[in-house]
Amino acid sequence: MTDWTTADIPSLSGKTVVVTGATGGLGYETALALAGAGAFVILTGRNDAKGLRAIERICAQFPNALIAYEHLDLASLPSVADFAQRFAASNEQIDLLVNNAGVMALPERQQTEDGFEMQLGTNYLGHYALTARLLPQLRRAKDARVVNLSSLAHRTGAINFDDLQSKRSYRPWPAYCQSKLAMLMFSLELQRRSDAAGWGVRSVAAHPGYARTDLIPNGPGADGLSWRVGQLLQPLISQSAAEGALPTLFAATSAAAEPGGYYGPNWFYELKGPPVPAKIMPRAKDFASSAKLWDVSATLTGVSFDEIAAAA
């Protein structure tokens, strides 16, 4: 497993895949590899022009790729609902959902269209609602998987139920860490709920380590001393977006990826390297907090897994 690469991805012919945030970075590399393995891949993003360019780039590398682009803004619950409705109208099932899209450590507090703090809303709540709305299509597939992108940042994260939207006190990094802890808790809780209710969905989480993507250069402090020091060390401690996508691809395609598993790079502090089981902090395993977060998320988004499952 420590030498796992994209060459180990099995044939995905006949599989339908959705990758969020797939117009660049980790999402693009994930979509590229899955398309190369024969899956029908639907790339989603907020920037339609970037989406079309991503399609062109993939087709240039894989002329016979089965790919499409759909607009999806995870910071808008109406956009999530609209995408899910369009998807259901033309696709009977979904074999793999990769919840990859995200924003990182925004310098100033911003809100989504629905009034959520932008990082929590985009990175987590939008994906929670999307996964719930696609549950009927996931259940129709054999061994459907949901892969949720967390981060090393989850290790210092905490779910602040008293100020979940960071209205009283906003700090960029704690808000980001909270959103990534929420994604890992969601992934583990989704597996528990799937097992209990018989949904037949395999939920797996992954993180890219320190991958060189636009998230970091576009984040806060790009001109600060710590950022400049990080740039000097980057060749030693980081990896490319393509390498950073390997844990996601392992979680998405390998028969060895366990339900409820979490995968990341194998090098020091899980910063880079081939995929291996990753460290999960105790907070992410807190059953009571995870159940509470699930219920709070259903209330905030107005989307209930149980109601959708019952109506399917």
Active-site residue, 176 included: yes
Q: Name the residue type at position 30.
A: T
* Cα distance between residue 220 and residue 109, in whole Å: 12
Terminal CA-CA length for the chain:
38
- What are the C-alpha distances in Å from 36 to residues 2, 41, 78, 185? 22, 10, 32, 31
CB atoms within 10 A of CB 277: 16
* Cα distance between residue 240 and residue 200, in whole Å: 34
Q: Name the residue type at position 106.
A: L
Parallel/antiparallel/unpaired status of strands 16-19 and 40-45 = parallel
> Strand pairing partners for 277?
263
- Ramachandran bin of 270, using left for φ above 0, alpha for ψ from -120 to 50, beta for the remaining angles: left
* Cα distance between residue 156 and residue 297, in whole Å: 21
* Cα distance between residue 299 and residue 306, in whole Å: 13
Could you say which of 28, 124, 128, 176 is catalytic?
A: 176
**3-state SS class at 20:** coil
In this structure, what token pair is assigned to residue 262?
């979490």
Residues that are catalytic: 176
